[in-house]
Amino acid sequence: MARPGGTSVTMRDIAASLGISVSAVSLALRERPGVGEELRRTVLETAKRLGYVPDRAAVTLRTGRSGVVGLLIRNLRNPFFLDVVEGFDFECARRGYQAMITSSRYEVPHEKELLEALTSRAIDGLAMAPIGSGRAAGAWARQTGKPAVVINCSRQVAGELSAVRVDAAAAVRTGTHHLLALGHRRIGLVTAPPRTSPDPERVTAFTELMTDHGLSPTVITTALSDVAAVDALTAELARPADQRVTAVLTNGDFIAHAAYQAARSVGLRVPRDLSVIGHDDLPTSALLDPPLTTFRVDRVAIGTAAASALIDRIEAPSHSRLRIVVPGEFVVRGSTAVPPVTE
């Protein structure tokens, strides 16, 4: 509203039209004591009649609270985050907040810029799926004195922050066990480069488990965009049959799809030549050819939990920080099978 054209109605207009003072209007509108019941009704009614819409910029400036919370996602292209965003947006709306959602696109400098932009917009709190370790979130919280919650980020970080995450390490263990039981020995784990990886725990869990079984773990490092992942996986799969992995674990169905593409591009078949395990259970995963074995997680719940935890802390700063682990469930479909017998 404001300036050009859109002749906005302000409290002053209401006050003038009723011959009372602005503060009376303010009090009446916000259901605060200090104003007669009858007058309040009149005010409410004329406000509606005049089409009054409060100017949040003014409120923000005055109160220091904007009613906006930020949601900074590291990669909005990953369908995983779709439902997270939806859940977050929904919960915010339910509790009277607006979400400001944006994507850092796995670019650290851009993440920094966005953080600053959000700060200058006086967000009341921040939820963030950080690019790397998540230190940025902690720094932001310290610097602004406002609550932050991290989503799917390394456990040790966080510090003072609330955190919502899926148990990625457990998922890796379950998947690895499944593959070992099928007879696989050369298993690959797809992960992001250390600096940008949100969950080093996956690698640790995987490495430990493989080592325990006397096997050497293959860690396939790639940027987590679909094209980069296809390239990295194609490179791995192009190796001789007795050296390349016979199964891969990915950190998301999104990347599992890339594994399908890579396999296809070098003429391998899933699951005959390559077993694939995803993580997320996207709506399409059951419809793929073959249906994807994956780890189902309630993505909407992640979003609502993050929003809820964040808003709790905004409204009661004493609220202790939360550590929420959203449960998941391993679902076995057609993309995993016994390894090929090429050796």
Give the footprint of DNA on this chain (CB under 7 A): 2, 8, 10-12, 19-24, 26-27, 29-30, 33-36, 39, 52, 54-55, 58-59, 61-63
Residue 240 engages a copy of itself in binding (rule: CB under 8 A) = no
- In terms of Cβ atoms closer than 10 Å to its own Cβ (0-12, 13-18, 19+), residue 105 is middle
The verdict on 29 binding a copy of itself (CB under 8 A) reads no
Stretch that binds a copy of itself, among 11-19, 86-94, 203-211, 305-313 (CB under 8 A): 86-94
Please report, for residues 57, 98, 178, 215, the alpha-carbon distance to residue 69 in angstroms, rounded to integers and kept in the order given: 15, 6, 41, 46
- Which 43-72 positions form the footprint of a copy of itself (CB under 8 A)? 51, 53-58, 60-61, 63-66, 68
* Alpha carbon distance 223, 155 (integer Å): 21
Instruction: Among 11, 43, 74, 89, indicate the residue that binds a copy of itself (CB under 8 A).
Output: 89
Residue 23's binding partner among DNA, a copy of itself, none (Cβ under 5 to 8 angstroms by kind) is DNA
Report the partner that residue 21 touches, choosing among DNA, a copy of itself, none (CB closer than 5 to 8 A by kind).
DNA
**48/62 with CB nearer DNA:** 62
225 binds, among DNA, a copy of itself, none (CB under 5 to 8 A by kind): none
What's the min distance (Å) between Cβ of 52 and DNA? 7
Which of the choices a copy of itself, DNA, none does residue 76 contact, using the CB cut-off of 5 to 8 A by kind? a copy of itself
324: partner contacted, choices a copy of itself, DNA, none (Cβ within 5-8 A by kind): none
Looking at residue 150, what DSSP letter applies?
Answer: E
CA distance 54 to 202: 48
Q: x/- string (CB under 8 A) for a copy of itself, residues 147-176?
A: ------------------------------
Residue 5 CB, shortest distance to DNA, in Å, is: 13
- DSSP-derived pairing of the beta strands 328-331 and 294-297: antiparallel
Site for a copy of itself in 273-332 (CB under 8 A): 282-284, 287-291, 317
Q: Could you tell which of a copy of itself, DNA, none binds residue 90, using a CB distance below 5 to 8 A set by kind?
A: a copy of itself
Sequence-separated (6 or more) residues with CB below 8 Å from residue 273: 246, 263, 340
Which value, in Å, is the radius of gyration of the alpha carbons in the chain? Answer: 26
What's the min distance (Å) between Cβ of 188 and a copy of itself?
A: 19
Closest of 107, 201, 117, 205 to residue 157, by C-alpha: 201
**Tokens 């390239």 appear where?**
231
Element (H, E) at 196: none
Shortest CB 45 distance to DNA, Å: 15
In the complex with DNA, the residue whose CB is nearer, 14 or 168, is: 14
65 three-state secondary structure: coil
Residue recorded with tokens 């998301």: 252
120: its two tokens: 């200058």
Tokens 């096997």, residue located: 215
By residue count, the chain amounts to 343
| Min separation Cβ 113 and DNA, Å | 18
Chain residues 178-237 in contact with a copy of itself, contact rule CB under 8 A: 226
> From its phi and psi, is residue 43 left (phi > 0), alpha (psi between -120 and 50) or beta?
alpha
305 neighbors 290 (Cβ within 8 angstroms): no
Q: Which helix (H) or strand (E) holds 24?
A: helix 22-29
Q: Which does 20 bind (CB under 5 to 8 A by kind): DNA, a copy of itself, none?
A: DNA
Q: Are strands 68-73 and 125-128 parallel, antiparallel or unpaired?
A: parallel
Query: Does residue 26 interact with a copy of itself by CB under 8 A?
Result: no
Shorter beta-carbon distance to a copy of itself: residue 2 or 219 = 2
